[in-house]
Amino acid sequence: MSAVKFDEGRLMQVLVAPIVSEKATMVAEKNNAVTFKVLQDATKHEIKAAVELMFKVEVKGISVVNTKGKSKRFGKSMGRRDNVRKAYVTLMPGQELNLSGEAA
């Protein structure tokens, strides 16, 4: 599947933001994985190519989770949070991805 070429401009937009939470930190320590918020229509192959392009690491596997947005009240009116698509990117053994910005 590595023969498939993706548009580099599209790959730069696929990863929206890293997710930093207790669960994401536990997964990172346990499974050598990093969690990202990604575009709703991003595929696993696009996510893999984007991570490898932007961070220069080898990706072992990807799990994608779609989370429905919650309905919330804002005063008298009802609102709704956005749906979120998360990607758990597992890195190859020996690979490391530092999102904290610290110099290693």
Contacts for 104 with CB less than 8 Å, ≥ 6 apart: 96, 98
Instruction: Specify the amino acid at residue 22.
Output: E
Got the DSSP string for 9-40? HHHHHHEEEE--SHHHHHHHHHHSEEEEEE-T
The band of 95, judged by pLDDT with boundaries at 50, 70 and 90, is confident
Yes or no: say if 27 and 35 are a contact pair by the CB < 8 Å rule. Answer: yes
Catalogue all structural domains in the chain, each as residue range(s) with its CATH number.
Answer: 8-91 (3.30.70.330)
Per residue in 6-62, pLDDT (tens digit) is 888 889 999 999 999 999 999 989 999 999 999 999 999 999 999 999 999 999 999
pTM: 0.84
Query: Could you tell me if residue 68 is left (phi over 0), alpha (psi between -120 and 50 degrees) or otherwise beta?
Result: beta
